Structure formats: structure tokens, C-alpha cells
């Protein structure tokens, strides 16, 4: 991990979370603010229904709140959709775009992800842009080609270390308990760093690169020690304060 880049641990609650889970969020926020804020930046991305409640929670402290998706338009006749401006108005600071579950379940393309990233920027928020190979691509030896294609198509021109974060999540590792080998993580993150540096210059060198896919307290330290891993995008382990705080503690 590059010591000049402060890590980010972002929790993706996915389609989980009710108002009855506010105490769990409060425990995360209190533990983070009192003990761990100096180690890494941290964020929880709940469902849309909880963004305002968490962002305005009296115990939130230094724990940021983000969203899991947004529409490309700032407003209009898009029933059921949410704009970046609406998310910002709730108090969120970032939006995940291009998560593999959005790509798979909703057919989102690289071009659409890029448009969403720009919409996030236009709302004054940070885009957490997700990339990652499928199991078939991993087995076929085309991991780097798949990641390169997604980076090329999903990261818009104008991306900076301030408005964008890249999250590498091998699709086959999400929610399965499986993780790629440390050497594999190092290879992909090194490749992404080189690609971004070549295409974005100094901004690509300074951009945070997160690893995601079955990150837990037990494997977080090893993953966070990999060069060019600047934090984690955490799924299931972000639903419990003990697990989420344990991952932050693992940051060296």
C-alpha cells in the first residue's frame, strides 16, 4: 500500500438494512470516530431508504455515508430512479457505480457506468467505480484484458484522485467466501495503477484503488498490505460493527 494515500474502507450494505439497524450503525460510527479515524477514511453505503437517516445520525461523527447507485440525469421523468443531486441533498459524499451486481442484474454497460460517474461528479460527489472479471475470464486467463476494457470504458476523462476511487472486485469472489491469491491481487492492482498512471498521469498515481470480494477481519491485514491496495469495498462484513471495525483495525 502506498503510504502517501490514506486508505478508504467503504461498506456496501446492498439490499440490506432497516431503521431497526440504526444501533449497529451507531456502534460503527462511535468505534470509528473514537479510535480509528486516523488510520483510514471510512464510509457506509446503505440502501437509498437509509441515506438521510444515517447521514444525519447524531452519532455519525467522522463516518461518511454514500449511495449504491444513481441515474445519469439530474432530474426528469425517470420513475423510481434517484439522481446524484438527490443523494447529495441527503448528506451523502460518494456513490458506487458499476458494481458487478448492477452490471449483471440490470445490464449496465461500461458506457453507462461512465455516464453515471460523470453524473456523480456533477453532483459534487465522489464516484467509486467498480471493475472486475468473471470466473470464466479468470479461468480463461483474460483477467487483465477484462479489467483493462472496463477501466477504458467506465472511467471518464476528467477523473481525478479527488472525484474518483476505483474498486477491483473479482465477480466470482463477491459473497462466496473465496478470494484470489495475494499474488493475483497484487498483479491486478499493479496493472490498474500502471494503466491509470499512463492515462491520467499524476491523478492516476494518487487515485485510491480498493480491493473487494469477501473481505473479512481475518484476511484484511494481508490484503491491505498488498502494494497499490489502498483500502477495501466490503460487503457482508460491513453489516456488523465488530466486523467492519475489525477490518479498519487491520489497516497498517
Residue 143 near residue 213 (C-beta atoms within 8 A): no
Query: What does each C-alpha distance from 50 to 44, 76, 91, 92 come to in angstroms?
Result: 10, 23, 11, 11
- Judge whether 169 counts as a catalytic residue: yes
Residue 218, Cβ neighbours under 10 Å: how many?
12
Other CB atoms within 10 A of residue 153 CB: 16
d(CA 241, CA 24): 6
Region at 87 (left for phi over 0; alpha for psi -120 to 50; beta for the rest): alpha
CA gap 168, 154 in Å, rounded: 13
- Of 99, 115, 137, 228, the active-site residue reads 99
Q: Name the active-site residue from 108, 133, 169, 189.
A: 169
Q: In the chain, count of helices (H) and strands (E)?
A: 11, 8
Q: Which residues are catalytic?
A: 99, 169
Amino acid at each position: 500500500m502506498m503510504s502517501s494515500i490514506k486508505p478508504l474502507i467503504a461498506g456496501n450494505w446492498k439490499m440490506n438494512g432497516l431503521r431497526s439497524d440504526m444501533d449497529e450503525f451507531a456502534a460503527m460510527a462511535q468505534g470509528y470516530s473514537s479510535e480509528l479515524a486516523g488510520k483510514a477514511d471510512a464510509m457506509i453505503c446503505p440502501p437509498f431508504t437509509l441515506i438521510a437517516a444515517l447521514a444525519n445520525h447524531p452519532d455519525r461523527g467522522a463516518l461518511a455515508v454514500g449511495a449504491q447507485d444513481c441515474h445519469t440525469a439530474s432530474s426528469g421523468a425517470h420513475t423510481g430512479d434517484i439522481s446524484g443531486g438527490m443523494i447529495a441533498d441527503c448528506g451523502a459524499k460518494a456513490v458506487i457505480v458499476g458494481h458487478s451486481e448492477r452490471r449483471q442484474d440490470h445490464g449496465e454497460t461500461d458506457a453507462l457506468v461512465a455516464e453515471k460517474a460523470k453524473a456523480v461528479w456533477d453532483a459534487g460527489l465522489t464516484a467509486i467505480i467498480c471493475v472486475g472479471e468473471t470466473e470464466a475470464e479468470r479461468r480463461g486467463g483474460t483477467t487483465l484484458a477484462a479489467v483493462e476494457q472496463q477501466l477504458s470504458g467506465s472511467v471518464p476523462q476528467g477523473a481525478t484522485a479527488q472525484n474518483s476511487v476505483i474498486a477491483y472486485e473479482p465477480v466470482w469472489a463477491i459473497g462466496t467466501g473465496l478470494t484470489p491469491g495475494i499474488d493475483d491481487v497484487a498483479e491486478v492492482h499493479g496493472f490498474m495503477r500502471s494503466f491509470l498512471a499512463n492515462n491520467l498521469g499524476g491523478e492516476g498515481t494518487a487515485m485510491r484503488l480498493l480491493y473487494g470480494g469477501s473481505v473479512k477481519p481475518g484476511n484484511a491485514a494481508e490484503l491491505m498490505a498488498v502494494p497499490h491496495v489502498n483500502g477495501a469495498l466490503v460487503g457482508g462484513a460491513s453489516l456488523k460493527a465488530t466486523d467492519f471495525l475489525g477490518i479498519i483495525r487491520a489497516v497498517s
